[in-house]
Structure 1
């Protein structure tokens, strides 16, 4: 038996249909010289696919018999330089692509799917820290438990400003994530850098299950955190007030504050009866002034401003530039009554417009900026008296009712 070293790297599974199969493939080996008579070995190895070296005995008689039928294609062609071509090697001549028995290369979409699958797999592996947690992650109870099971400290500050996991779960998460942290013995009344506890954030979120869980865990309800506001006092202004009215140390809101809150709730209800797409919306509320008067104050002629339905707009609502040339004016019945001015744009919050429509009354304009932020301006008797970005935390100089 003889042995001849041969390397194998098939780049084509064979161009003939008869050679194709899901389970096997035919390849051509081009040897530099005929093997000696007798038996020899074919050695195959595929490390990338975990296939070790295999050896197959081959009778070279058939190979030598086939070689006798070969004929010279290019007579007179000089043989290769033996010094530049090591003995015992072969060449694969067909280079049309990867063999069909190999898995085809993954497409970009498949690669992205594999990447996401791997990220999802790694997401819930236990780990002993809170690194990489985004706002939405604090609502994922399974992820919170995986971190806790991995040894992450439930009381460790995880953000600049001293926010701990319980603060972030109460701000951005769910009752289930708060319960997962409380089950690990987290301190229910820890304060962040702004002096707030998790119950404060749960009260701001008006989340009943979260509030109940924190109160049952012993969270302080009545100590003020933004003078004179405590978590309990905040809750008294919400539908969750019954959760705290009978607790020890309960306080009562002043009668005038209760009246103001009820009036605010009525205004909110009036404005929220119809669902609105607020992104890019401008809207102003004008007290005690009718539609025709508002149109005149805006410089228009009521006779040239007919009432139209949404389906009969004189412009394409999807055309932003066209929408900036129109405002809608709608009367509001009741006492004091008034008008609502709307536009798919900033105009109702513009100070010049608010000055014009607020003579002898008051008007408030809001702009929901699609680039970020909601901005309001208050006008009284033709002058701007306040401007603000809505939704920011109150400043020390703001009135308590803010």
Structure 2
């Protein structure tokens, strides 16, 4: 459709297609004031500018209107007599066209509109392909997607009087919070299933600027959600100093317990942010035994270093006081047949999951007391059969980091399983004190993910070690032991 002719009522292409135009009608179905029919140009997309979507059966085209249609109904009328295609009428959403025109960019501002009496009644234009050269080329799919994202971003910060369509991460966006507040969104509204207010959510995200924006409005700095927690409680869990400081400066309650004996201030006293609350009125002094327990837990966490730790799908077990040879014998293998090698030279295919479940790696951990660590890319070290076999006369604690979700621990003592638990979750009032000491409560810890779980498992098994990095590093050589059928699941 490269050459188009118009007589004011229809546009004809050289291939025989007849584009009769767009018909505008008034509210009662009568012709509009502008014209009964208005000729338009249908200009094919240029395949040289983007991937062609042409075929023998269809061609994508862009539709350019010579003028904005009046309000009312409109129809696109097309026929192709040479091919026996009768007249086809397609309704057009005029409201959408007029709304889109409001976003048009004026290319030549300041020009006066042409005199309708001077406009020609007919025109001819010849194009080899694509739109006329004075028009911008059609947008590619990538460009259209970029424009869509830009428009979504622009709409995102348009002020509005509610908190709808706020995602979890959105509460950390101070500019977005300010835009909603400017639009009239209530700063103290309930916005979550558990009675959370906006201040709870921005504090949890560690967004000090967003906290400041909310505090500039009438809000309760100590508002409690359905769990009885204040915004400061969530800010402490996120360990963002600026957010914690902002809430404390705004008068937030620091010392009232919110879960058992634990208050925001009491938790902060066990962290590097303790200076923020030390010396405040009603300051709590931690008992010496609590300080000692926290120091022991922190030392075990630090024993696993600062480098990222691999935990996904990992099974690991710590057993107290046994040598590598003794662990191997208790599993049912000959220590002489289990030399130390790295994973690449292990006696099984590490890429075969089913086969990997039939082997475990054993390595010594020095300490006072020390013991051994047993690892596997699977659940066996936390399985009851393995724990019973290796824990006679001692204690073992196995952990399975389920790749599908959840971390599960099992404690065995003297050949019997005595406890199973899900660990690593934010502790509740009824949970053991050790959950708090090993910092399961910290949502943004200052140590590698998984270090607190390894440390907790060591403590549960009775190990006191100063360096556990090699024991949990998958790249470190260890002694590979085949599990006998009685210990395989």
- The answer, yes or no, to whether TM exceeds 0.5 is yes
**Aligned with 2:410 (options 377, 381, 390):** 377
Confirm whether residue 222 of structure 1 aligns to residue 255 of structure 2.
yes
**2:173: which partner in 1?**
140
- 5+ residue gaps, structure 1: 16-43, 64-91
SS at match of 1:279: coil
Aligned residues: 340
The 3-state SS of whatever aligns with 1:151 is: coil
The SS at the match of 1:120 is helix
The equivalent residue for 1:276 is 309
Distance 1:178 1:391, change over 3 A: farther
TM-score for the superposition, normalised by structure 2: 0.62
Q: Mark the CA change 1:126 to 1:205 in structure 2 (over 3 Å): closer, same or farther.
A: same
Give the match for residue 272 of structure 2.
Answer: 239
Richer in strand (by share) = 2
Is the alpha carbon distance of 1:174 and 1:301 closer, same or farther for their aligned partners in structure 2, counting shifts above 3 Å? farther
**Structure 1 residues 111 and 395 mapped into 2: Cα distance closer, same or farther (>3 Å)?**
same
1:385–1:160: structure 2 CA closer, same or farther, 3 Å change rule? same
Q: Which residue of 1 aligns with 2:164?
A: 131
> What is the distance in 2 between the residues matched to 1:254 and 1:212?
25
Deviates more, 1:349-358 or 1:309-318: 309-318
> Which protein has the larger Cα radius of gyration, Structure 1 or Structure 2?
1
In structure 2, the CA distance between the partners of 1:114 and 1:373, relative to structure 1 (3 Å rule), is: farther
Matches of residues 3-402 of structure 1 in structure 2 within 5 Å? Answer: 5-8=8-11, 9-11=40-42, 45-47=66-68, 56-57=119-120, 99=131, 106-315=139-348, 317-395=350-428, 397-402=430-435
Deviation at 1:131, TM superposition (A): 1.0
User: Once the 2 structures are TM-superposed, how far is the Cα of residue 177 of structure 1 from its aligned partner?
Assistant: 2.4
Relative contact order: is structure 1 or structure 2 higher (C-alpha 8 Å, sep ≥ 6)?
2
Please say which of residues 111-120 and 222-231 is displaced more in the overlay. Answer: 111-120
Report deviation, 1:391: 3.2
Give 3-state SS (helix, strand or coil) of 1:162's partner.
coil
Q: Which of 233-242 and 129-138 deviates more?
A: 233-242
TM-score normalised by length of structure 1: 0.74
**Residues 57 and 124 of structure 1, relative CA distance in 2, 3 Å threshold:** closer
Structure 1 counterpart SS, 2:341: coil
Cα separation, 1, equivalents of 2:173 and 2:362: 45
Range with bigger deviation, 253-262 or 304-313: 304-313
